[in-house]
Structure 1
Amino acid sequence: MAAILPRTVCRAAEAALSLRSVPPRGAGHHVRSLGGVSAACCKAGAASVEFVPWHNGGGILHRAASVDPTAVVEAGAVVHSGAVLGKEVVVGSGAVVGPSVSIGNSTRIGYNVVLSNCSVGEFCTIHNGACIGQDGFGFFVDEDGQVKKKPQMLYARIGDHVEIGANTCVDRGSWRETMIGDHTKIDNLVQIGHNVVIGKCCMICGQVGIAGSATLGDYVTLGGRVAIRDHVSIVSKVRLAANSSVTKDIQKPGDYGGFPAVPINEWRRQTANLRLFSKKDGVKR
């Protein structure tokens, strides 16, 4: 527990275990039922334990969280204030559900997942170690040559029936919200930058990198280690071969490959010609 929580939260959890039967002082106003945990707005200066143990799984919840009684929060997991967990949600050990995060019904959150500034739809699976909703990589150089951070204030929105692989990262938005459409499947070790919009039913293989503000249509398939430049738009029903790099908009459906990505048949001709030109005798067949 100490490895994943600040000492103050650990102490709060220990205090909560010893005071479970004692109601908090000043809990006379704004009381609501949160799946078996009472949340109260306490008077200033009154002693109160903010985090309490959850009856189903052994994790701890903030009193201002709203959790369905059927949700499971496993030991070592933490749910912060304002978070909303729907029916039959499972939050694995070591996971952190940040303030105001919402998780839809029947979604499973793996071990050591971190959710912040985001919403996750219904029937999703977020595998171990994924991070969703952290700040994107946005900086600029001012007149004095100092590197300044651009504000990252918006959210990441994950649709229904989405699967996100282990150690994948989805950044929150800055000028528009990062969005992943329904039924999209994302492999392990994928980086999705801020302001990226991905349509429904997309397939994104391992080690893909999508730079900020890119837009993908529906039914897009990205092979392993595909790279997509920032602010690029890809139309629906495009398939990209592994190790391809998209440097400009793709406006027609079809198969593409290469660096930069071109229609697949053109890429194959380029590859064949390169092999012929590189022969030692220099003779073109």
Structure 2
Amino acid sequence: MNELRASDIARALGVALSGPDLVIRGVSSLSIPRAGTLSFRINAWDARHLPRPILVLASATPSGEAEGISVIITPHPRQAYAHIVEQLLAPTVPGIASSALIGNSVTIAPGVSIGEGVIIEDDVQIGENTRIETGALIGRGSRIGARSRIGARTVIGNEGLGSFETADGQLRNVRHLGNVRIGDDVEIGALCAVGRGTIDDTVIGNNTHIGPQVNIGHNSVIGMRCQIAGRSHLSGSVVIEDEAKLWANCTLKDGVRIGAGATVGMGALVNHDVLPGQTVATLPAIRLQKLAQFVHNFKWGR
């Protein structure tokens, strides 16, 4: 991890520094703070329990004694923290790990990093400064844009389920001849699966972020700047329009369309289209006694 001075951080954010010009060598949370680190706080906070020295990015000045603590006041501490962390992190060294397997007719742009155990099948294209992490598999014909990240053990371009029953009662699967197209600045977490299209491509638009253990079915089209949280499941031929948000563990039936800017809540089962800007959600967890009373009242019409 790199070192940064507090004054350089303030200068990069275009705001003033209050307190000593510390040398920052890492990060810590305010619940388990460590000296010489960077942290952030969105709401009100108390400086009395914090170690000296520490630098805090905050939206408000602290209560309590703050002597020896450096503070940068910014309206968006979390975004500021994310920006500075990129500078603290040692840069990823571009290159191809010795255990990676690269197929034929693969195009790898400058600045690409390919981790240990990665498999890149034939005819893949990878844009500049993209990172393919340990153990990922990039299926034949896939296209990945610039500055994107494919998480560890993720599979891009697997075949989905397209089975049908033959006259003699046997199940057959339709071979998938489409590909996967991933845009620029896309983040895909670990242990995801993105199915290739049956005929047309599966598409993920620019600057979309996808959490870990997400399944994206074949022929799906995801727009730009979408957010899809971990363990969500998108069945085949789903359309997610720009800037939609899908929170953890939601499931989308095949063929569903989620409109631009819409939000799907945690754990929701969506079997119909969601209009642009609309929010849909399932019921939160409730006590079993309350659920039994609800069923009783519904049954007897009370």
Answer yes or no: same fold by TM over 0.5: yes
CA contact (8 A) 1:103 1:120 kept: yes
Contact 1:223-1:240 at 8 Å conserved across structures: yes
Check the 8 A contact 2:262/2:275 in 1, yes or no: no
Task: Give 2:243's aligned amino acid.
Answer: Y
Q: What amino acid sits opposite 2:255 in the alignment?
A: H
Change (3 A) 1:281 1:175: closer
Question: Following the alignment from structure 2 to structure 1, what is the Cα–Cα distance between the partners of residues 120 and 271?
Answer: 36
Match in the other structure for 2:55: none
Structure 1 equivalent of residue 241 of structure 2: 217
Give the whole-Å Cα distance in 2 for the aligned partners of 1:281 and 1:148: 46
- What is the aligned partner in structure 2 of residue 83 from structure 1? 106
After TM superposition, give the deviation of residue 251 of structure 1 in Å: 2.4
SS at match of 2:156: strand
Moved over 3 A (4+): 274-277, 279-285
Task: Output the amino acid matched with 1:167.
Answer: L
C-alpha separation in 2, matches of 1:88 and 1:96: 18
Could you list the runs of 5+ residues in structure 1 that have no partner in the other structure?
1-69, 259-266
1:127 matches 2:151: yes
Aligned to 2:164: 140
CA distance in 1, matches of 2:294, 2:228: 36
Corresponding residue SS for 1:161: coil
2:206 match: secondary structure: coil
Equivalent residue number for residue 128 of structure 2: 105
TM-superposition CA deviations, 1:143-194 (whole Å, max 9, x none): 2111011120010000000000001000100132100000000000000010
Whole-Å separation in 2 of the counterparts to 1:103 and 1:255:
35
C-alpha displacement of 1:196: 0.4
Q: Secondary structure at the match of 1:179?
A: strand
Q: TM-score, with normalisation over the residues of structure 1?
A: 0.67
Preserved contact between residue 230 and residue 248 of structure 2 (Cα < 8 Å): yes
1:45-124 mapped onto 2 (5 Å cutoff): 72-117=95-140, 118-124=142-148
Task: Determine if contact 1:277/1:284 at 8 Å carries over to the other structure.
Answer: no
Tell me the percent identity. Answer: 29
Equivalent residues of 1:276, 1:284 under 8 A apart: no
How far apart, in 2, do the equivalents of 1:280 and 1:88 lie?
59
Consecutive unaligned residues in structure 2, runs of 5 or more: 1-92
Q: Would the alpha carbon gap of residues 284 and 151 (structure 1) be closer, same or farther in structure 2, given more than 3 Å must change? A: closer
Give the deviation of 1:254 after TM superposition.
1.9
